[in-house]
C-alpha cells in the first residue's frame, strides 16, 4: 500500500485560496499554479532562499520549480539581489533607452553564436509572437508549423495542441480564439520529420517558419530523436523558411549556448525568457541580422513594449548571465545533480517493478507515469495522471515541491545539493514501497 505523506498544516493557504477564488479566476494568476489536476488547493508561498521555498504556514520545501526555470542559481542569489537593489535606487522604469539594454544585447550576442541582433520584450509569449510576425514579414508568407505538445505561450495562433497547462486541462485549444486566428497554424508531430515534410509539400511556398521547442519541456521533458532537429534545419533551407528555436526554457539552461549550442544547429531566430531575467519578467527574440532588421523602427514589422528592456530586469539578467559565463561549474553541478536525480529515480522505479519512464537532459527531468516510451504528444498523453496526482501529493507533504501537473519539468538549480537530491530520492523510494 502506498504510504501517506506527512500531515502538513496549511490553514493560512486554505484561507488565502478561499479569498483568492472570489477575486481571481480559479484563485490564481496563471493556470499552472492551480492544483486542480492533482486534486487539491495550492500552497501560498511566503519566501524563498537558495533551493528552498517556504509557504505562509511555515512549511519548507525543496523547490524543483525555481519559478518555472529562471532560478538556475537558486532563489535570491545575493549577487542578483544586489544588482536589482542598486538599480532600484537609481530608477525602476524610464520608458527611454538605457545603457543596460545595450549591455544585455551585447552580452547575449557574444555568448550565443546564432544571435547577431536581439530585441527585448516582456515575456516568452511576447517573444514568440513577435518572432513569428518577424518571420512572416521577412519571408512574405503567412503559414507556420508548430508541433503537438510544444507550448509557445498563450497568443491566439499558438494555442493549437499546445503543451503543459492545456494538456493538463484536457483541451486541445482555447475558447475565445477565432478560427481565422489559427487557420495558418499547421501542426506537425514532434520527432516525426516526415510529418513536417508532408506539410511543406502540401503548402508549397506558403510556410514562413517552423517553430519548435528543441527539447520539448512543456509536455514533460521529451528529447528530440537523433537527426530530428537537423532535419528541420534542412527542410527549412530547402523551402526558404525560417527555423525558430523556442528556448524560453532551454536558453542558458542546456549549457551556456542553450539548445542551439548543445545540438550544434544554428536557427534563424531564437526566443528567450526566464533565465535572462534572473527572476524578473522578461523575454527576448533575436537571430540573423538581416531578419531582425525588418523589425521597426528599421523595418516594416511593428513591435513595441512600454516596459521592454526594463532597467531592473536588465540589471538582474545581466548579472545572472555574467555569472553563468564566468562560472562553468554551474552547469557541471546542475547537470551532475540532474543525472543523479534521473538515474536514482529510474533505479527506484525499476526495483519497485514499475515501468514508468524517466526522461530529461542536463538540469531538466520528468517522471512519466506510463509504460510507453515518450517521444511525442500522443505517447506523453498515455500517462496516468491520477497516479501522478497521488505521487505529487505524497512528495509535497514530504517537503518536495514539484509542478502540479504530469506534464511539467523538474528544474534543478546550482543551489541544490547532493543531500537534497538524496532526500528526494529517499522519499520517492518510500512512496513506491
Active site residues: 151, 246, 274
Taking residue 205's Cβ as centre, other Cβ atoms within 10 Å add up to 12
| Residues 263 and 238 sit within 8 Å (Cβ to Cβ) | no
- The span from the CA of 235 to the CA of 416, in Å, is 40
- The span from the CA of 433 to the CA of 429, in Å, is 6
- The span from the CA of 327 to the CA of 267, in Å, is 26
- The span from the CA of 361 to the CA of 213, in Å, is 14
Output the CA torsion 370→375→378→382 (10° steps).
0
| Residues 135 and 271 sit within 8 Å (Cβ to Cβ) | no
Output the CA torsion 149→428→369→272 (10° steps).
0
| Bond prior to 27 in cis (omega within 30° of 0) | no
- The span from the CA of 389 to the CA of 404, in Å, is 8
Amino acid at each position: 500500500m502506498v504510504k501517506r505523506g506527512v500531515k502538513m498544516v496549511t490553514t493560512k493557504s486554505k484561507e488565502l485560496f478561499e479569498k483568492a477564488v472570489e477575486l481571481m479566476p480559479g484563485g490564481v494568476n496563471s493556470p499552472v499554479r492551480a492544483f486542480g489536476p492533482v486534486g487539491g488547493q495550492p500552497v501560498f508561498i511566503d519566501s524563498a532562499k537558495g533551493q528552498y521555498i517556504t509557504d505562509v504556514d511555515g512549511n519548507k520545501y525543496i523547490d524543483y520549480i525555481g519559478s518555472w526555470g529562471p532560478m538556475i542559481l537558486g532563489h535570491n542569489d545575493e549577487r542578483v539581489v544586489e544588482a536589482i537593489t542598486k538599480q532600484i535606487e537609481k530608477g525602476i522604469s524610464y520608458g527611454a533607452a538605457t545603457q543596460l539594454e545595450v549591455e544585455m544585447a551585447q552580452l547575449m550576442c557574444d555568448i550565443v553564436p546564432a544571435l547577431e541582433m536581439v530585441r527585448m520584450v516582456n515575456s516568452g509569449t511576447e517573444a514568440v509572437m513577435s518572432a513569428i510576425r518577424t518571420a512572416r514579414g521577412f519571408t512574405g508568407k503567412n503559414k507556420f508549423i508548430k508541433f503537438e505538445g510544444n507550448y509557445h505561450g498563450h497568443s491566439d495562433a499558438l494555442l493549437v495542441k499546445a503543451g503543459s497547462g492545456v494538456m493538463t486541462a484536457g483541451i486541445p485549444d482555447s475558447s475565445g480564439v477565432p478560427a481565422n486566428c489559427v487557420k495558418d497554424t499547421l501542426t506537425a508531430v514532434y520527432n516525426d520529420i516526415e510529418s513536417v515534410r508532408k506539410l511543406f509539400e502540401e503548402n508549397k511556398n506558403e510556410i514562413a517558419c517552423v517553430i519548435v521547442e528543441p527539447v520539448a519541456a512543456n509536455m514533460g521533458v521529451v528529447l528530440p530523436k537523433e537527426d530530428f532537429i537537423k532535419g528541420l534545419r534542412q527542410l527549412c533551407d530547402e523551402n526558404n523558411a525560417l527555423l525558430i528555436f523556442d528556448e524560453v526554457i532551454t536558453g542558458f539552461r542546456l549549457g551556456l549556448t542553450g539548445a542551439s549550442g548543445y545540438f550544434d544547429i544554428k536557427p534563424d531566430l531564437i526566443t528567450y525568457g526566464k533565465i535572462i531575467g534572473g527572476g524578473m519578467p522578461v523575454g527576448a527574440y533575436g537571430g540573423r541580422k538581416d531578419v531582425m532588421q525588418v523589425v521597426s523602427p528599421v523595418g516594416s514589422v511593428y513591435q513595441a513594449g512600454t516596459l521592454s528592456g526594463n532597467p531592473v530586469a536588465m540589471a538582474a539578467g545581466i548579472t545572472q548571465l555574467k555569472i553563468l559565463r564566468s562560472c562553468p561549474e554551474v552547469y557541471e553541478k546542475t547537470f551532475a545533480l540532474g543525472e543523479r536525480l534521473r538515474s536514482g529515480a529510474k533505479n527506484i522505479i525499476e526495483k519497485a517493478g514499475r515501468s514508468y519512464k524517466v526522461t530529461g537532459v542536463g538540469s531538466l527531468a520528468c517522471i512519466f507515469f506510463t509504460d510507453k516510451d515518450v517521444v511525442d504528444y500522443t505517447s506523453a498523453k498515455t500517462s496516468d495522471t491520477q497516479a501522478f496526482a497521488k505521487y505529487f501529493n505524497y512528495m509535497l507533504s514530504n517537503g518536495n515541491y514539484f509542478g502540479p501537473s504530469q506534464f511539467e519539468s523538474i528544474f534543478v538549480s546550482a543551489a541544490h545539493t547532493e543531500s537534497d537530491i538524496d532526500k528526494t530520492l529517499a522519499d520517492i523510494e518510500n512512496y513506491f514501497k
